[in-house]
Amino acid sequence: MSKFLKKTFGLAIVVGLGYLGLKLYKIIKGVMKLSKNLPEFLTNVYGEKPSISINQHFRSLHVKVGFSKEILEKNSDIEAIILEYVEDFYPELSKDLKIDLYDKETKTDECNCCEDDDCDCDCGDDCKCQEEETTPEEEV
């Protein structure tokens, strides 16, 4: 009898892990499709391509959408339209969805471009990641 219980328990664990793996696969596949289709949808609706950042956390989806200031001022229903779109086409992602809108012209936390070959970052003249080489003054 104990062999039967061990086999049943092992089978239940394998089936449970398979179910969780399938759910995770569907969520990741949905996020990938959303990252491709949401910018196209918003471009068709508002006539401007937004900058979009999608982050999937353990149980929540965080979407940051950047439009120009004019679009944000003219349209106050952007969050509702994004939420409705996700609920209609990606219901597995709409359970805990957070949407942030920002003005993409004033966002400054992105690097510009670094021209130094030694630097691995993408920032330019205002490069904060490279420390200036200072030579200690020799004492006489």
pLDDT at 112: 47
Average pLDDT along the chain, 140 residues, taken 10 residues at a time: 91 97 92 93 92 88 92 91 93 88 71 52 53 46
pLDDT at 58: 80
The domain tally of the chain equals 1
Element (DSSP H or E) covering residue 124: none
- d(CA 26, CA 33) in angstroms, rounded, equals 10
Task: Answer whether 0.85 is exceeded by the pTM.
Answer: no
Question: Which candidate, 76, 83, 80, 34, places its Cα nearest to that of 56?
Answer: 34
Range of the structural domain that residue 32 is part of: 2-103
Q: What stretches of the chain adopt beta strand conformation (E)? A: 51-56, 61-67, 97-103
Q: Does any domain span residue 126?
A: no
> Is 139 within a domain?
no
- 4 to each of 7, 14, 16, how far by Cα in Å? 5, 15, 18
Q: For residue 11, what is the domain's CATH number? A: 3.30.300.20
Distance of alpha carbon 80 from alpha carbon 116, whole angstroms: 44
Residue 98, number of CB atoms within 10 A of its CB: 12
Distance CA 93, CA 29 (A): 10
pLDDT of residue 119: 59
Helix axes 2-46, 78-89, angle to 10 degrees: 140
Indicate whether 42 belongs to any domain: yes
CA distance 82 to 93: 12
Instruction: Tell me what pLDDT residue 94 has.
Output: 82
Give the pLDDT score at 92: 87
